[in-house]
Structures are given as C-alpha cells and as structure tokens.
Amino acid sequence: MSQRDFLKLSDLTTSEIEAIWKRTKEYKEGQAKNKPLQGKTIGLLFEKPSTRTRLSFEVAVIQTGGHPVFISSRDTQMSRNEPLKDTARILSRYLDGLVVRTFSQKTLDELAGFSAVPVINALSDLYHPAQILSDLYTIRERKSDLQGMKIAWLGDGNNVAHSWIEAACLFPFQLILACPKGFEPNEAIWEKAKKEAGERVRLTDDPIEAVRKAQVINTDVWASMGQEDQALDRIQFFQAFQLNGNLLSLAEPDCMVLHCLPAHRGEEITDEVLEGPNSAVFDQAENKLHVHKALLEFLLDGGKNFGR
Ligand code: CP
Ligand code: NVA
C-alpha cells in the first residue's frame, strides 16, 4: 500500500497546498535551512522527454539533502513488458519516493497502487499537477490573491488544462477555457468541475471571450508529447487561438502570460508575447524548483517543519 501520493492536484487539499506554498516561499528566500530529504533516494522514472520537470525535481532533491536517480524507462525491463506491479514493488524496495512522467494515468495509478513509497505525477496524458502547483504559486507571488481573478486558458483541452480545471475546484478564481471544437477537455473532468465550481468554470470556442479583461492567460502547445503525428493537422483548428499581441491587448493591461514551456513560437504564442513585458514564463519555470522542494518535503517528511 502506498503512502501519500500526488497523482492529481485534488490529491491535496486547499490548506495543504497553502502550506506547501508557505514553505516554498521559505525555500525561495533561503530561510529553509534543514535538509528534510537527508538519507533519502528519489527515483525519477521518465517515459517522455523533459527539461524543466526532470531538472527541477533532481535539483530539488539534491538541495533538500536527498539523492536523485534518473531512470529512463527505455533502459529498464519496462521496455520489455515487465509488469508495472512488479516494477513498482521492486523500485519501492530501493527508493524512498518515485517521480514519474508517463503516458497513461493508469500507469501512474498502478505504480502507486503497488508502491510502498510516495509516487508523484511529473506529467501524464491526463494531468500535470506539479506544474499547476507552481503556476498558481507564480500568480500568487505577483498578484497575491486568487479570489475572483479571471484566468483564461487558450488552446488544447489537454493535461495542463485538466490540472487547471482541478485547481479551479480548489481555489476561488474564474477559469474560462477557449478550446477549438473537438479539442475540449475530458468530459468526466469537466462535469466534475461543473458540479464543484459551478459558474466559476466556463468553456467556449471563442478566444476573444476568454481573454477579454483576463488577469492571467495561459497557453500550451497545440500537440502534446505523444501527439506529434497530429501536429500539422491541428494547426488549422488552433490558428485563431494563438496568443498574440491582438488577443493580449484585450486582456487587463497587467495581464500575466503563462506557458509551462516548451513553447512553439509562431504557433500557440508569438515571440513578441513570450518575450514581452506581460510574460512570466521564466519565473514560472524557476518556481518549479522551489515548489518541488516543498512538495517533496510534504510528501516524504510529512511537512512537520511547515509552520502551519
Ligand atoms: N513544463 C514542463 O513540464 O516542461 P518539461 O517538459 O521540460 O519538463
Ligand atoms: N501538454 C504538454 C505539456 C508539456 C510540458 C505535453 O504533454 O506535451
């Protein structure tokens, strides 16, 4: 039986997330001096490429006193169909925690179900919860309060969008998603959010409606990892959803632009917007490191040093 996992954002409560952010600030400001992961070894099992998530977790482990071990699934017996339930039980006899980037959420659920150590989702086809934990932190850092804020999502109803939808059930902001027809979010995730967040979550296929007076605009690639063969076909459906100067001019003047990166300049976002004064993308990427330290500490050390 696994310990505390983080497979989707709603695996944490609002007050636990608040406590993680409080600790994040202490890490970022250099006030967290203890090494809660001392003596712990954390595996990073990746089935897909990664720059930010892999590195920020690896460095977070090192800087909190632990030891990271990167595991490319291709180099393991997983690539020769060793059952996940065996892999999970073996890995959790060597490791104290497992950070996983994979395709199917079922893979994560199965690994977590058979793991005796905490499992963290570092992106699946369904969710990217660790990303949204640091994206929300980045918004709070600049704008302090999420209450009533209008946050827009432009583009694909994908893994990142799904974690934003879960976030809107935990925090009192307005989330409006503009997705092309046929590329809306997962129906079950959407229906659950409608029940929990009601009118605070909205879906449209009109990007102008979504960005008008928005205080934050998020976007992401039009074809995610694993969908590369659809990339060319998708352009025709997504073109009107490009985050460019025209759309940004409809938002609040100090609107924050977020993109989890990597970005495809000239597709979902223009170079002008990504490099412009509204863009927070590099702070957003940096914050993954600080947030991951607090998340790891919470899951592996119980957050006992968190001044809640
Ligand atoms: N944002 C993000 O998850 O980036 P990587 O794919 O580089 O980890
Ligand atoms: N939606 C993107 C996010 C990359 C960080 C993907 O899954 O490829």
State the pTM of this model.
Answer: 0.97
Is the same domain home to 196 and 256? yes
Residues contacting 128, CB < 8 A, separation 6+: 121, 159, 160, 162, 163, 260
| DSSP SS3 for 151 | strand
Q: Which of 97, 93, 119, 88 is nearest to 37 (CA)?
A: 97
Residues contacting 66, CB < 8 A, separation 6+: 35, 37, 38, 39, 40, 41, 42, 96, 296, 300
The tally of domains found in the chain comes to 2
Given a contact cutoff of 8 angstroms between Cβ atoms, the answer to whether 268 and 222 are in contact is yes
Find out whether the beta carbon of 260 lies less than 6 Å from any atom of ligand 2.
yes
Along the 308 residues of the chain, how does pLDDT read in single tens digits? Answer: 348 999 999 999 999 999 999 999 999 999 998 899 999 999 999 999 999 999 999 999 999 999 999 999 999 999 999 999 999 999 999 999 999 999 999 999 999 999 999 999 999 999 999 999 999 999 999 997 899 999 999 999 999 999 999 999 999 999 999 999 999 999 999 999 999 999 999 999 999 999 999 999 999 999 999 999 999 999 999 999 999 999 999 999 999 999 999 999 999 999 999 999 999 999 999 999 999 999 999 999 987 778 65
Q: Considering every ligand atom shown, identify the ligand nearest to the alpha carbon of residue 284 and give its number.
A: 1
Paired tokens of 47? 């089935």
Q: What's the sign of the alpha-carbon dihedral 113, 105, 98, 111? A: positive
Is the same domain home to 137 and 280? yes
Q: From atom 1 of ligand 2, which residue's Cα is the shortest distance away?
A: 224
Find out whether the beta carbon of 261 lies less than 6 Å from any atom of ligand 1.
yes
> Looking at the domain assignment, is residue 83 inside a domain?
yes
Q: Considering every ligand atom shown, identify the ligand nearest to the alpha carbon of residue 53 and give its number.
A: 1
Cα(163) to ligand 1 centroid in Å equals 14
Is the same domain home to 257 and 297? no
Is the same domain home to 294 and 265? no
Is the same domain home to 182 and 100? no
Cα(221) to ligand 2 centroid in Å equals 7
Cα(80) to ligand 2 centroid in Å equals 25
CATH number at residue 73: 3.40.50.1370
φ, ψ of residue 93 to 5 degrees: the values are -85, -15
Q: Considering every ligand atom shown, identify the ligand nearest to the alpha carbon of residue 127 and give its number.
A: 2
Cα(131) to ligand 1 centroid in Å equals 8
29: number of Cβ within 10 Å: 9
Residue 237: give the domain boundaries. Answer: 131-284
Find out whether the beta carbon of 51 lies less than 6 Å from any atom of ligand 1.
yes
Is the same domain home to 141 and 80? no
